Chains A and B, each alone.
Chain A
Amino acid sequence: MRRDEREAAYVEFVTTRRSHLRRIAYVICGDWTQADDLLQQALVKLYVAWPRVHRDGREEAYLRRILLNANIDESRRPWRRERSTDRVPDHAAREPLPVEERSALMDALHQLPEIQRKCVLSRHWLGLSVAETSAELRIPEGTVKSYTARGLATLEGLLSAEHEEQQTGQPIC
């Protein structure tokens, strides 16, 4: 595949699907900066794998797998790798979203352990089957079921507590 052909198809895909993929990255990470970094890395990998992935029509599945398999907790560690530059950025540094702009649902999702969150999101948001989730996350199907069940139960508890807190104005201890 010639480079201009590769890039035309790649650019079209990225332009069309990026908003949706960015949303997936955010729901997985719970942080827009981290989500944008993660998606950027994933899109570079997609570029590299494009001829093979595009031929098989697996572009979105390929990116979803990268996003789901990213070790979010790992990247929160104090050491990291990055792309550095001394060019002045084209845009101002991003202000974090105010806390109140992050919903109770997102807060609750990100209180789940990472693997439980990924199982819940894969099954109940992305619509993957148990077998597909097992393949995507590389964990046994039984583990997918138990993590999903535990994640949903925890999520329900967190959201109920949040709801009661809003009703009474008192934190639930």
Chain B
Amino acid sequence: MPAPAADRFPDAREQASPHAGLLPVPEPLDELFPYGGLPRGSVVTVDSVTLALALIASPDAAGAWSGALGIPDLGLAAAQEAGIALSRFVLVPHPGEQWATAAAVLIDGLDVLLTTFPRGTGPAQARRLSARARERHTTVIALRGWPGSVDLRIQLLRGQWMGLDHGYGRLTGRRCQLVSSGRGAAARERRVTAWLPPGP
């Protein structure tokens, strides 16, 4: 099987990107993205918090600001383990009725925003926020769905937890099969097997 063009010409990835730039993504998750990184200004949906934290951690290490909106039960110990610097990780756990306003303001200020779309907010709102994210070069990672069109959808096909043995052991890691699909350059499905949280 011939290697994809992007692999033969590593520089081509960057040049081919339609966006203002890419945020770094750790291996092997980078293979889920058509240009090998999280495109700035895009909307990505994921269905695992661990995956979302792993995607935030690398830009964060590069000095980016990130934040979580409307996720009150996010485990901060897990965020720390993922390598997120808490001093640049903004939390707005309870935006209430003002979710859309808060999302718009955070898109203005942050590099990566993690959020869940609340019930009762429609596709019009989603379109507006996607446009704003594109304009401000902020990446939005939506947990479990986004009622508008998204640039990339990453799904967890199968995950197997390791380390437990009927009363003995402890959870050590999860072997996951991930699949990404989207529009444009991402139309082709990409599959990756990875450890989540990223480890061995």
Note whether A and B form a binding pair: no
